[in-house]
Structure 1
Amino acid sequence: MPAARTVPPTGPPAAPRVRAAGLWWLALSALAIAVFAPLPYLLHPLRELAANGGEIAANYAPRPGWVRAALAAHVLLGGLALLLSPVQLSSRVRARFPRLHRVSGRVVLASIAVAGTAGFLLAWFTVAGPVGTAGFGLLAVLWMGFALSGLRAIRRRDVVAHRRWMLRTFAMTYAAVTLRLWLLVLIPLLGGFAAAYVLVPFLCWVPNLAVAELVLRRRSSA
């Protein structure tokens, strides 16, 4: 009787590999934007950025001091929230370093509170006009609302609800990345920054939130 053939291992299934690749993309893209997006504002004054062709800087440079302070708070603390959010979503960090998860979570929530408030104020001065005020203003309100719901859930020790709310919060935080990705696509298609920027106030976060809801629905039905 012939010996049974041994089937060599074929490695992990495709789905976990795809999921891992997606998580790495989210983490690395968030890191890139969190680090490089604030750099121009840290290294150069707004008026210098405006003189060199920065459309956003040109819009905010002549504004009152409190508006410029809100822009700085939004850029810096929004970047910090984006930088730390992938750490918060990591199940390995939660399991191995629970204290790091808690401390980092407090920093993220505080950063979102300040950056979201600043973002809501800035929405009234955006170059995208009324569409921008509506889109960015709603983004700021939902961002802070989701984060607050996540905080309330964990305070009552509802871990499942906390994780669901924080996934929605990350979808809004990640709008900093998707906004720039959309601009990369839309500027060549529409022929300029102004035309492209009118479309991103909703595009930068509505698809993110839709994907987050689909993920949550699949988890609930699994």
Structure 2
Amino acid sequence: MTAVHVPGPTRRRTAGLWWLALTALAIAVFAPLPYLTHSLTQLADDNGELAANYAYRPHWVQAFLYTHIVAAGLALLLSPAQLSTRLRARAPRLHRGTGRVVLACITVGGIAGLVIAPVNLAGRIGTAGFGMLAVLWVTCAFLGLRTIRRGAIAEHRRWMYRAFAFTYAAVTLRLWLVVLTPLTGDFDRAYKIVPFLCWVPNLIVVELVLRSHRHPKIIPHVT
């Protein structure tokens, strides 16, 4: 007899994973698309508030912006698959290979995000909020890499769940803007609220989930 962990509610977990995957896919594909098909000046002329903030910045700032958009978008696109227990079990090599890409994208995207944080649209609160997001995002990725290299699989997963909380900020930021822009009556006002709101609740949810699974129930299972 061996002991196995009792999984949580399968339907709830599956529905949650599908929600994360579909919303991540939508943002990862459609959010970067305008920046990859139009210039910043074109987007600014079409009343793109974010693009207008970067349209006349130095070229190196624009380069870091595009680097952040592409790297963060790819990390967001690939990360939900890394959360799948079934995929990890059935295709461990794919999980490891995708994981390396995700970690590289988080590192590049986080560093680029940190560089452009001081010139964000939200001002000082944006510099603080997005700057902390970038630092914590890269830190969790680094700790996830360090723990898996020494074989601490459970600890590795915990750090990567935290990293996903920061990766998913790209989705929650836009969801909050959809809610807050009509409430505040102005995109700029709404944007000044989201630098912390886009990631702090995500991290709280992940920490609560990790805490609830710290001591899972164990039942005997005959092998």
Counterparts of 2:84 and 2:191, CA distance in 1: 32
State the identity as a percent. 65
Shift of 1:64: 0.5
The yes-or-no answer on 1:128 pairing with 2:125 is no
What do residues 128-157 of structure 1 show as CA deviations (whole Å, max 9, x unaligned)? 010000000000000000000000000000
Partner in structure 1 of residue 44 of structure 2: 50
Q: Say which one has the larger Rg.
A: 1
Counterparts of 2:170 and 2:205, CA distance in 1: 16
| Cα RMSD (Å) | 1.0
How many residues align? The count is: 209
The yes-or-no answer on 1:173 pairing with 2:163 is no
**Alignment TM-score, normalising by the size of structure 1:** 0.93
Match of 1:20 among 11, 14, 17: 14
Match of 1:156 among 150, 158, 161: 150
What do residues 145-173 of structure 1 show as CA deviations (whole Å, max 9, x unaligned)? 00000000000000000000000000000
The yes-or-no answer on 1:75 pairing with 2:45 is no
Shift of 1:179: 0.1
Show structure 2 runs of 5+ residues with no match. 1-7, 217-223
What do residues 173-204 of structure 1 show as CA deviations (whole Å, max 9, x unaligned)? 00000000000000000001010000000000
Shift of 1:93: 1.1
Match of 1:39 among 29, 33, 37: 33
The one of the two structures with greater contact order (alpha-carbon pairs below 8 A, sep at least 6) is: 2
The one-letter code matched in structure 2 to 1:55 is: E
Counterparts of 1:184 and 1:221, CA distance in 2: 38
Partner in structure 1 of residue 195 of structure 2: 201
Show structure 1 runs of 5+ residues with no match. 1-13
- After TM superposition, where is structure 1 displaced by more than 4 Å over at least 4 residues in a row? none
Counterparts of 1:26 and 1:109, CA distance in 2: 18
